[in-house]
Structure 1
Amino acid sequence: MATARPYYAEKGLSAAFYDTVTAADARLAGDLDIYAGLAPPGGTILELGAGTGRLTFGLAERGFSVMGVDIAPAMLAQASAKRAELAPEVAARVELKRGDMTALDLKRTFDLVICPYFTLAHVPRGAAWKNTFATASRHLKSGGLAAFHLPLLEIMRMPGPPDPSQPVLDQPAPSGGRLVLYVRERSFREDVGRMDQVMEYVEKDARGAVLRSSLERQVFYYTDPEPLAAGERLTVDRPPIPLGGVGEIYVFLKA
């Protein structure tokens, strides 16, 4: 496959245009309501993979106290800038921290732990998944819930677009130009449950001239999460919640 930098890398465009892409993704519609419905009113929430704070701030605006953790400095920098613009009473309910969800220990517990927008799928199945479930269990109060949004396996198996030269996204960019997104390559390995695709981000000015571009490798992994969760004292709380036709939110209970 083509040489490409990792997704959400410091100099890539996937982090810079994260908000543009997620705002255009109708398949995420309703996820904030789902997560808010899993925590008690005014409760505490730990978000693993907070990104630029889309859910972190949305949940804080609904009265929850939220700790948002992410491993990517470029994402947290944007989240911190947006936090500074929040109403003081909302900002006071938000904490942001850089951390690795596979090895996190905050020495505190929460009413709800969420791992949204395919965050768990970004790390290899096996030890990394097991360790992330251990992190969720370690940070949950007894009776608390943990929610993980995972892609559907049949979607991961799908081939890429028939014509890689045709964009899969073309949206206004904050600069006044356009963000154009292509899927240049995609493959799936059944033996390791891994989807590997190369995306190209292209930013154009108002006249259509290319300002900058970035090839970035996006990788998703999948395996049955239930046995790994059970190994960390997390039991299935309800059937997976469908979201957007491309994923499901698995909800587990810590007894």
Structure 2
Amino acid sequence: MTSRKLYHGTGPGTITPDGCAVDHYAMLKPNGEPELVHAAIPQGASILELGAGAGRITHSLLSFGHEVVAVDESPEMLAHIKGAETVCSPIQSLTLHRTFDVVLLMSFVIETADDGLRRGFLRACRDHVAEDGCVILQRKAPEWYDTVQPSETVAADGRTVRMTEISRPGPGLLAATMEYTLGDRRWTHFFLSRRLDDDFLQRELNQAGLTMSGYLDGNPEWVRAVPHPREG
């Protein structure tokens, strides 16, 4: 499955390989995610943030006293991050030869419809999490795949956010286009994603040497996983 079939984007400025508009992501603010993560991990924990984008979450985690290494495949995204070590690399081929207290994979990246790519993401998580650390994943609640409908909202920053062209091309799959408009600027982002219910996700985690250990603050959209002990 090609990346073009999985996701693509349009609009002014640089568009990353996964269809994200750098100018759009650079203007986004956190929405409670850093506080949720910070409350669930040790004070001063080292964090590997996979798919960090333009630092929407990174900067808040730094302000909470965490050491953050931010990874993204887009150098244009990483140029917006200040105060953290940055690594320009696809997640699935990341090899840092070091481990972290927390590996963070947010923004529903784990829900890619490409099974091989998802497994590569999870292997990278396992390779870089400390033996007594944890992996935090963000997914949509499984029922969202059945209930989501076209929508239009106006964000606090004045952006109009539309979800359109929703289809369900196969079991557990959902395709849609997000449209973001601010003034005379308009970006679109098409994505194809897969539902990850607990049973499916646990099987995927197990292949990577991880296991689910609960949710953050009881929210099933935020999954905590821990590593299987290394043999020998």
> How far apart in 2 are the matches of 1:216 and 1:235?
32
Percent identity over paired residues:
21
Q: C-alpha displacement at 1:120, in angstroms?
A: 1.5
Q: C-alpha displacement at 1:218, in angstroms?
A: 2.8
- Aligned partner letter, 1:238: G
5+ residue gaps in structure 1? 84-90, 173-177, 205-210
Q: Normalized against structure 1, the TM-score is what?
A: 0.73
Q: C-alpha displacement at 1:170, in angstroms?
A: 5.0
Which is further off, 96-105 or 6-15?
A: 6-15
Partner of 2:52: 50
1:250 counterpart = 2:231:
no
Aligned length: 215
**Which of 62, 65, 83 is the aligned partner of 2:64?**
62
Q: Normalized against structure 2, the TM-score is what?
A: 0.79
> How far apart in 2 are the matches of 1:14 and 1:32?
22
Q: C-alpha displacement at 1:180, in angstroms?
A: 2.3
Contact 2:49 2:103 in 1 (8 A): yes
Classify 1:249/1:119 alpha carbon distance in 2 versus 1 (closer, same or farther; 3 Å): same
Contact 1:70 1:98 in 2 (8 A): yes
Classify 1:188/1:235 alpha carbon distance in 2 versus 1 (closer, same or farther; 3 Å): same
Larger Rg belongs to: 1
> How far apart in 2 are the matches of 1:239 and 1:212?
37
Q: C-alpha displacement at 1:186, in angstroms?
A: 0.9
Partner of 1:88: none
> How far apart in 1 are the matches of 2:91 and 2:165?
28
Q: C-alpha displacement at 1:215, in angstroms?
A: 3.2
**Which of 24, 27, 36 is the aligned partner of 1:17?**
24
- Secondary structure at 1:78's aligned position in 2? coil
Q: Aligned runs of 1:100-119 on 2, under 5 Å? A: 100-119=90-109
RMSD of aligned C-alpha atoms? 2.7
Q: C-alpha deviations, 1:63-109, integer Å up to 9, x for none?
A: 11110111233422322xxx1xxxxxxx2xx2112211122111111
Contact 1:157 1:188 in 2 (8 A): no
1:182 counterpart = 2:189:
no
Partner of 1:168: 153
Contact 2:26 2:80 in 1 (8 A): no
Classify 1:56/1:233 alpha carbon distance in 2 versus 1 (closer, same or farther; 3 Å): same
> How far apart in 2 are the matches of 1:153 and 1:78?
33
Partner of 2:43: 41
Q: C-alpha deviations, 1:50-72, integer Å up to 9, x for none?
A: 12212211111111111011123
Contact 2:24 2:187 in 1 (8 A): no
